[in-house]
Amino acid sequence: MATAEKSVKKTQDSTADREAVLNDFRIALISRHASLMGRKEVFMGKAKFGIFGDGKELAQIAMARAFQKGDFRAGYYRDQTFMFALGELTVQQYFAQLYAHTNVDAEPASAGRLMNGHFATRSLNDDGSWKSLTDRYNSAADISPTAAQMPKLLGLAFASKLYRENKGLKGFKDFSINGNEVAWGTIGNASTSEGMFFESINAAGVLQVPMVTAIWDDGYGISVPQEFHTTKGSISEVLEGFQRNDEKKGFEIIRVKGWDYEALFNAFQKAGNIARSEHAPVLIHVQEMTQPQGHSTSGSHERYKSKERLDWEKEWDCIKQFREYILSRELASADELDKIDAEAKAQVKKEKEAAWNDFLGEIKEELKEAVSLIRDAAQTSNRKVVLEQLVQDLSKTINPIRKDVISTVRKALLNLRFDQSEAKNKLQTWYQQQQEKNFDRYSSHLYSQSEWSALKVAERLPEFSEDSSIVDGREVLQAFFDYKLENDPRFFAFGEDVGKIGDVNQAFAGLQAKYGDLRVSDTGIRECTIVGQGIGAALRGLKPVAEIQYLDYLLYGIQMLSDDLASLQYRTKGGQKAPLIVRTRGHRLEGVWHAGSPMGMILSALRGMLICVPRDMTQAAGMYNTLLQSDDPALVIECLNGYRLKEKMPENMGEYTVPMGKPEVLRSGKDITLVTYGSMCRIVLEAAEELSEMDIDVEVIDVQTLIPFDRFGVIGESVKKTNRVIFADEDVPGGASAYMLQQAIEEQQLFKFLDSEPQTLAAKAHRPAYSSDGDYFSKPSTEDVIEKVYLLMHEVNPKKFPKF
């Protein structure tokens, strides 16, 4: 336990005047009372769970004072005081989130989709267009996994570097004024143990970006004390090697106590100045913070803190210390401070009640309507008794939630299944209307709903002529990226080996030399923060293509893609977007880590992103063109073995697009439909040729994108004709082949047209063994496809296709 020294310092010039100090005191108390009352709301059953910012108020006020318009915060669940101090969150909104109010005006961070303490400002207008971000305070949308705010924090800061140093971006004043914006991060002491914290810190030091990271150190991570988290018990001590000096760039590291008002004020001002003017990263280790109510509503800290520690926390509570500071400096009397306290408490109570009434009011209104409609329908029903009972039970619910209302209506409708009455029809109509509203409340915005949705980008075919040159696939991509770099200053690409050599397969070859290293750049080996760097930059209006060198290494970055990027539009209900494109290459080449095709994992983890699986580089370039015109985030997986294959160079490069969710029929046939994508297209086409010699006519369909999946019913149309279908890929059994089967069977009702059992063909369940033989025995081969199709046809007509 730290032993703090009380010291009364003289006010320095930089300290705000009396009014400002008392206003800060008021905000601290408003925040504290919000924490205290919030906990009670949970214990009274009005909210499910609560996590609060008590004990961390003072540092957050100091941070807010250094925070300027255009700046961004990426932090965690303790930061309510910061948001209050900026005026970006009202107490009423704070409680609306605690109750999970689904109205976006009542709860602008997430419209009831996020647990309390998850903060966000709205960067977008209702139609999905950008607001000006430079005339407002911005907060990225929080997520719960500890330290996951760090990777995007890096990107938010990196954007300032691009806006300052890339002359082509000077006109984008809604996003940046000369790169002056600082990205401010907050993180708990225990969360600094996460790998992504260290990865982000190192990357920020390398990149030299205006990133201020404040560590709220309360000595614990839930019940676990510091000694289990951090070497030497101090994160700033551990990071001392990052301290910059006269010879070498690095971090400015500042230590300050969480109860020391003046020192906090000065520390955050200093950090902001350094980051803003020098574009150097700063770390502020805020020590000796407390947690008056323990970690969350899930338990009490008396279970794991000693009496000595609990007494220490009472004494060094930052608000108590702040009060003593004000008294000792004679800025206000004890009575005046008591009055501020009482007023703060009254204000919080009032706003809390307003939030509750507003939240409950909507539901009570729905309940009233439901009760009346069910009652009406009951009058003429022979299920009257049961229906009256349902209504009675619903009416008696003390704090009804929407589920109570809707589940009662659904039960009523089941009871009314034999009835035919006007009243029943009314109830049904009402229920349908409610379900549409509930879809909007709970399920909208998984993908972009704006006019820039990738699904709305018009198709334009590639054009070729007699003289179209035949080139290596990678040159088609290179031509597209060249076009895009030339034509859109917001577009930039980065990743391991992307800069100097233009990526390991040379789709960017020569482009760094042509456009500079801000547009095409190398990064360290750090997939998680490559993704974060892209997310943060995209949150600030840029159009990044972040490269993950091989599909197998996407796992290092998939957590950020899944938790942060894929959920972004959903969890803010359209309040933020980050149209990042992640580019990678995969499927088959060589061995356990360079031939994986873990598509099922990706499909499950990345709902909220588009998943493109081009079969060649012409299709890939067209997909990039579609995506770069849209505001959906996407993953594009190029074929690792396709860069040296010959393709025709399209003549309308930069103009043609590939539509999302439109499969292409690569070969038409009448006996059986084979649905596949990516590198498997070539294998399946080869097999189809050989099968045709056995008089089996295969229709081959390339789905092109897995999300969205066949929006045009192309597979269904094919199966109507062939009455048989196999879904083939090189993922594990039950992976993406099963996904394709489910999508087609359920969405397109394929079973109506099938004369044979629908089948899947996948790779072995293990990772692919090394070398060409490893590939042959691990992944589906031409023979595997031929045999699978032939055996299916044998079942249909054993005479014509005898067993072999």
CB-based contacts of 284, cutoff 8 Å, min separation 6? 212, 213, 214, 215, 254, 255, 256, 267, 268, 271
Q: Which is nearer to ligand TPP, 138 or 291 (CB)?
A: 291
Q: Which is nearer to ligand TPP, 218 or 552 (CB)?
A: 218
Q: How many CB atoms lie within 10 A of CB 405?
A: 22
Distance CA 720, CA 723 (A): 6
Site for Mg ion in 53-112 (CB under 5 A): none
By a kind-dependent CB cut-off of 5 to 8 A, residue 562 interacts, out of Mg ion, ligand TPP, none, with: none
Order of strands, sheet of 211-216, starting from the edge strand that comes earlier in the sequence:
138-139, 72-74, 183-188, 211-216, 282-287, 252-257
CA angle 148, 625, 507 (to 5 degrees): 80
CA distance 704 to 480: 19
Instruction: For Cα atoms 190, 193, 194, give the angle at the middle one, nearest 5 degrees.
Output: 115
Element (H, E) at 719: helix 714-722
> Could you say whether residue 145 binds ligand TPP (CB under 6 A)?
yes
Give the count of beta carbons closer than 10 Å to the beta carbon of residue 799: 6
Interaction of residue 222 with ligand TPP, rule CB under 6 A: yes
Partner in contact with 78, chosen from ligand TPP, Mg ion, none, beta carbon below 5 to 8 Å by kind = ligand TPP
If one asks whether residue 220 binds ligand TPP (CB under 6 A), the answer comes out as yes
- CA dist 620 and 514 (Å) reads 22
Contact pick of 108, 151, 188, 735 for Mg ion (by CB under 5 A): 188
Of the residues 139, 189, 448, 506, which one makes contact with ligand TPP according to CB under 6 A: 189
Amino acid making up residue 425: N
Q: Does 218 interact with ligand TPP (rule: CB under 6 A)?
A: yes
**From residue 134 to residue 173, what is the string marking binding to Mg ion with x (rule CB under 5 A)?**
----------------------------------------
The nearer residue to ligand TPP, 142 or 358, going by C-beta atoms, is 142
Shortest distance in whole angstroms from residue 310 CB to ligand TPP: 15
Using CB under 5 A as the binding rule, whether residue 288 contacts Mg ion is answered as no
Q: State phi, psi for 665 to the nearest 5 degrees.
A: -85, 110
Interface with ligand TPP (CB under 6 A), residue from 72, 82, 95, 216: 216
191 binds ligand TPP (CB under 6 A): yes
What does 176 bind: ligand TPP, Mg ion, none (CB cut-off 5 to 8 Å by kind)?
none
DSSP 3-state assignment of 776?
helix
CA angle 285, 290, 294 (to 5 degrees): 130
CA distance 442 to 432: 15
Closest CA to 97 of 84, 85, 435: 84
Question: In angstroms, what CA-CA distances link 136 with 86, 122, 174, 175?
Answer: 10, 10, 10, 10
Q: Which stretch binds Mg ion (CB under 5 A): 124-132, 180-188, 529-537, 571-579?
A: 180-188
Question: Residue 191 touches which of Mg ion, ligand TPP, none (CB < 5 to 8 A by kind)?
Answer: ligand TPP
Tell me the catalytic residues: 594
Contact letters for ligand TPP, residues 35-64 (x by CB under 6 A) = ------------------------------
Query: Which of these segments, 143-151, 521-529, 607-615, 675-683, binds ligand TPP (CB under 6 A)?
Result: 143-151
**Piece in contact with Mg ion (CB under 5 A), picked from 110-118, 216-224, 591-599, 677-685:** 216-224
User: CA Rg, the chain, in Å?
Assistant: 30
| Backbone torsions φ then ψ of 286, nearest 5 degrees | -95, 105
Contact between 780 and Mg ion by CB under 5 A: the answer reads no
146 binds, among Mg ion, ligand TPP, none (CB under 5 to 8 A by kind): ligand TPP
Least separation in angstroms between CB 217 and ligand TPP: 7
Give the residue, chosen from 218, 252, 632, 671, that forms a contact with Mg ion under the rule CB under 5 A.
218
**Whole-number Å distance between alpha carbons of 67 and 180:** 12
Q: Is 637 helix (H, G, I), strand (E, B) or coil?
A: strand
**Residue 189 in contact with Mg ion, rule: CB under 5 A:** yes
- Taking the C-alpha atoms of residue 362 and residue 208, their distance in angstroms, rounded to an integer, is 49
CB contact at 8 A, 518 and 166: yes
Binding partner at 145 among Mg ion, ligand TPP, none, C-beta below 5 to 8 Å by kind: ligand TPP
Residue 229 or 724 with smaller CB distance to ligand TPP: 229
Q: What are phi and psi of 3, to 5 degrees?
A: -105, 110
Q: What residues line the site for ligand TPP (CB under 6 A)?
A: 78, 144-146, 188-191, 216, 218, 220-222, 295
Q: What residues line the site for Mg ion (CB under 5 A)?
A: 188-190, 218, 220
